[in-house]
Amino acid sequence: MSKTYTARDITVLTGLEPVRQRPALYIGGVDAQGLHHLVWELVDNAVDEAMNGYATRIDVVLDEDRQGVRVSDDGRGIPIDLHPEHGRPALELILTTLHAGAKFGGSPYGYSGGLHGVGSSVVNALAEVLEATVCRDGQKVRQSFRRGEPLGPLQRVSGSRQSGSSLYFKPDPSIFPDTTFDPGRIRSRLRATAFLHRLTTTLTYRGETETFRPGHGLGEYLTDLLGQETPLGPVFEWRSEGEPRAELALVWTAGAGEKVFSHANGIATPEGGTHENALRNAVSRAVKSYLETHKLWPRDLKLSAEDLRDGMRAVFSVFLSTPQFKGQTKERLNNPEVTGPLTQSLAIALEQQLNDRSTTSAQLAERLIQAARARSEARAAADLADRRAISAPRLQLPGKLADCSSTRPGERELFVVEGDSAGGSAKQARDRKFQAVLPLRGKILNTEQAALTRLGGNREIADLVSALGCGIGQRFEANRLRYHRVVILTDADSDGHHIAGLLLTFFYRHLPELIRLGHIYLGRPPLYRVAYGSQIHWAWDDPQREAILAAHRKKPSQVTRFKGLGEMSPGQLRETTLAPATRTLFRVVVPDAAEADRTLRDCFGKDPAPRYRLVMESSREAVELDV
């Protein structure tokens, strides 16, 4: 490191160099979420055409090896004429220049999700190859690029009576560690897009095309998202044609908590924002007014705004001419001017609906009051337990917890392992200064099927909540979390995967803030130990084992398959799974809340039909069963 610091040390990045140097700034990261964000950028551009009445369908084709994607629409087509100032075709300018586009308040788009003029150029910058084909002005043209640079000029292919744009790209493996796209993730996005914008979307993969049609809009979409949850009455649907234009489908269920799948200009906003604030305010105001008007408000019970929204399920979509998103990934809407008008108009419409549906509204009131009363009683019992714990001589932690000595939550780690055998190895392998170990007894309660009243009585869940220290449900306080890295560490077999799935279900349903704040991780213990004399290799799955064996084909080898963490010596477990310098951890994220909700419901819900269907559909892919 040089001690001098002069003008010579200043680097100026031009063209698309900033994107390749710092991709996370534009797509959030180079993990699976960032990889798929490239597809969303192109899909969102096609949606902008549909949103403004110029396109009726979006087609996505995934390569058989899942390494390349083509996104096409039947819109107007990207302009191909020469730009008057830059003297280059508009198509080339858009794909090779940051902040070049028609969505900075000009007339071509009334509503759009693309605001910064960087989406297509970012995809081009991070693509190993990109080919753009455009039909407009009576001709079909094409231009190819490599890592953001044109491979040649725009070329006329043929004449054409059609219009639209088609972009094919392969992500750059020098940027992304894994360039394999997930058909399920793309399918979920296209399905939601069809409902939200009342247009047809298709996904073609391995020669088969799935078509997603708009159906009956958000009401049908919400009903589909409910899955096994039973709605309390019909879905409330509402549309506002003013500014901001908004559309809502809402219903209450017997389930706990609230779930809102919100969108702004067709883009999912998993972190919510000002439009979600308006929805929550309106619902609380309307329900409170209904209860007071009909004299249903209990005098002996304090109802919070969260109590009034308990069980609410909603799909909410707003359209703004000048949306303000949080960053390029657009996960949160920040327009403060929408909250007041949306709250006012929506509260009036919802209260009118509650009054019109007197029978179902009375049932809803009874359900909300009963649930609030049960939570109040639970809080009172918990408060009593807290007072007893405070008066006790020391903090009451699970007896099986091997805690660490550090008092700083930011550096503390908790490994949740299955069984006493694995717990014994992990306790010996850990760094006692900052790593704690909590062994669980076998498979925990399936919280997707269990009633809320059973959670407190389950010893394994009670021990886990006690060790975390942050509370659960309405008593959750993030600042009380004792460990900022909670690692689910199970055996690398199907049984271990099942236990990990049960734990993830519990965290997602009852401690979702820990996932949102980035505190939940999955450990990755090896499945095989491959030895060549004194040389040791670790394999985390069968393909990796075969690759190691193939690379050392002429040498005698000894392969050991670990049946569980308890079979590994403390030294082996420390080297492969616990030591920060040599381990691999996966942070748990939720890029698509609707898809995550559906996956957990299908895998762990009461209805076995989705699991049976999955087994039958995937049976041909099974080479060896781990039973």
The one catalytic residue among 420, 495, 542, 567: 495
The one catalytic residue among 418, 463, 575, 602: 418
Known catalytic membership, residue 9 = no
Could you tell me the pLDDT band of residue 120, with boundaries at 50, 70 and 90?
confident
Could you tell me the pLDDT band of residue 140, with boundaries at 50, 70 and 90?
very high
Known catalytic membership, residue 306 = no
| Least confident stretch, 13-22, 310-319, 504-513, 598-607 | 13-22
Residue 342 has pLDDT above 80, yes or no: yes
- Predicted confidence at residue 421, as pLDDT, reads 78
Residue 354 has pLDDT above 60, yes or no: yes
- Predicted confidence at residue 392, as pLDDT, reads 40
- Predicted confidence at residue 242, as pLDDT, reads 73
Residue 184 has pLDDT above 60, yes or no: yes
Q: Which fold has domain 17-212?
A: Heat Shock Protein 90 (3.30.565)
**Which of the 8 DSSP states describes residue 547?**
H
Highest mean pLDDT range out of 43-57, 173-187, 329-343? 173-187
Residue 573 parent element (H or E): helix 570-573
Known catalytic membership, residue 542 = no
pTM of this prediction? Answer: 0.64
Measured CA to CA, the distance from residue 470 to residue 76 in angstroms comes to: 53
The one catalytic residue among 491, 575, 592, 597: 491
Residue 86 has pLDDT above 80, yes or no: no
- Predicted confidence at residue 393, as pLDDT, reads 39
327: phi > 0 → left, psi -120 to 50 → alpha, else beta; which? left
State the amino acid at position 183 in one-letter form: P
Q: Taking residues 78-89, what's their average pLDDT?
A: 80
Q: Which residues contact 211 (CB under 8 A, 6 or more apart)?
A: 200, 201, 202
Q: Taking residues 430-449, what's their average pLDDT?
A: 84
Residue 110 has pLDDT above 70, yes or no: no
Tens digit of each residue's pLDDT (9 = 90 or more) over 527-545: 888 888 778 888 888 888 8
Residue 112 has pLDDT above 60, yes or no: no
Residue 511 has pLDDT above 90, yes or no: no
Q: Taking residues 169-196, what's their average pLDDT?
A: 90
Percent over 70 (pLDDT), the chain: 87
Percent over 90 (pLDDT), the chain: 21
Report DSSP letters for 201-222, one per residue: EEEEETTEEEEE--TTTHHHHH
Q: Taking residues 500-522, what's their average pLDDT?
A: 89
Q: Taking residues 163-191, what's their average pLDDT?
A: 91
Could you tell me the pLDDT band of residue 67, with boundaries at 50, 70 and 90?
very high
Give the N- to C-terminal CA distance of the chain in Å, as an integer: 55
Q: Taking residues 152-157, what's their average pLDDT?
A: 88
Per-domain boundaries in the chain: 17-212, 218-372, 409-525+586-621
Measured CA to CA, the distance from residue 518 to residue 588 in angstroms comes to: 7
Tens digit of each residue's pLDDT (9 = 90 or more) over 377-412: 665 655 544 444 434 434 567 778 899 999 898 999
Q: 3-state DSSP call for residue 59? A: strand
**Per-chain mean pLDDT for the chain:** 82
Highest mean pLDDT range out of 3-17, 133-147, 207-221? 133-147
The one catalytic residue among 210, 306, 493, 567: 493
Q: Look-up: residue for tokens 């920060």?
A: 580
Does CATH place domain 409-525+586-621 in 3.40.50.670? yes
- Predicted confidence at residue 597, as pLDDT, reads 78
**Which of the 8 DSSP states describes residue 240?**
E
Known catalytic membership, residue 495 = yes
What are 315's strand-pairing partners?
249, 261
Alpha helices by DSSP H, listed for 511-592, are 512-516, 542-551, 570-573
Query: Quick check: 113 and 47 in contact, CB under 8 A?
Result: yes
For the 218-372 domain, the top CATH level (class) is alpha beta
